[in-house]
Amino acid sequence: MFLIVQNDPLCPAGGLLPLLDSSGHPYRSLAAFAAEPFPDPESLTGIVVLGGEMGVHDTAGHPHLVRVLDFIDAALKAGTPLLGICLGGQLLSHAAGGVVSSPSPHREMGICGVDLNATGSGDPLFAGVPTPFVTFQLHNDSFTVPPGGTLLASSAACPAQAFRLPGCVYGVQFHPEVDRPIVDQWDGLFTPRADYLSGFIAAEAEFNAASHAILANFISLAATARLS
């Protein structure tokens, strides 16, 4: 079973869900912000840790983050495939000994291009993904590649966009899971209201091609890893 860890009620799984549906693998979502109990990571095929408006260090106001960090640590020890997205990638970096800057000089908002390095271009997570590729960003914080990790991608504004840890474990700074309703809702979080949706719609075909490939690749990689 795949487990989707949702850290924020406004940061759902979006486009990940139809890909899991089409894969045929069972899955469920866990609302970490609502204090739902975590399963044993050894029982899982793969884990996706989603984003959130809060930061890694905001544990006083969002104590569930401590439980998420403990769960990520347990997943790493169990060798369970894991993909951390935005805050999820920052939590993964932090749990593995990396540094998360908050606020960061590397903030990005809206549609952006991301460049794969030579290692990233050859990594199975990015199979079928061009470089540069179009993605969506909404982050004030940023991570470093943790010790033992490998940098896979960067952008003009943010030097660490994706990394891999030993096994099938990845952290990404960007949001491959978003769709129109999510971006529209996020626009409403700003005062005055932002308009990242129009840029998203204009780049939607390119965004979907790259993002769906990345998410589908992770699903396939995780399922294969658990069979080996």
Instruction: Identify the active-site residue in 11, 86, 112, 168.
Output: 86
Buried b (16+ CB within 10 A) or exposed e, 45-66: bbbbbbbbbbbbeeeeebebbe
Is 177 catalytic? The answer is yes
Is 53 catalytic? The answer is no
Cα 67 from Cα 59, distance rounded (Å): 10
User: In the structure encoding, which two tokens stand for residue 125, read together?
Assistant: 């997570």
User: In the structure encoding, which two tokens stand for residue 198, read together?
Assistant: 């129009």
3-state secondary structure of 99: coil
Instruction: Annotate 134-203 with DSSP letters as a single string.
Output: EEEEEES-EEPPPTT-EEEEE-SS-S-SEEEETTTEEEESS-TT--HHHHHHHHTTSSSPP--HHHHHHT
Distances, alpha carbon 163 to alpha carbons 126, 152, 207, in Å: 11, 5, 20
Cα 93 from Cα 84, distance rounded (Å): 9
Cα 8 from Cα 5, distance rounded (Å): 9
Instruction: Identify the active-site residue in 64, 106, 175, 212.
Output: 175
Is 175 catalytic? The answer is yes
Tokens 């540069």, residue located: 132
Instruction: Identify the active-site residue in 158, 168, 177, 212.
Output: 177
| Catalytic site positions | 86, 175, 177
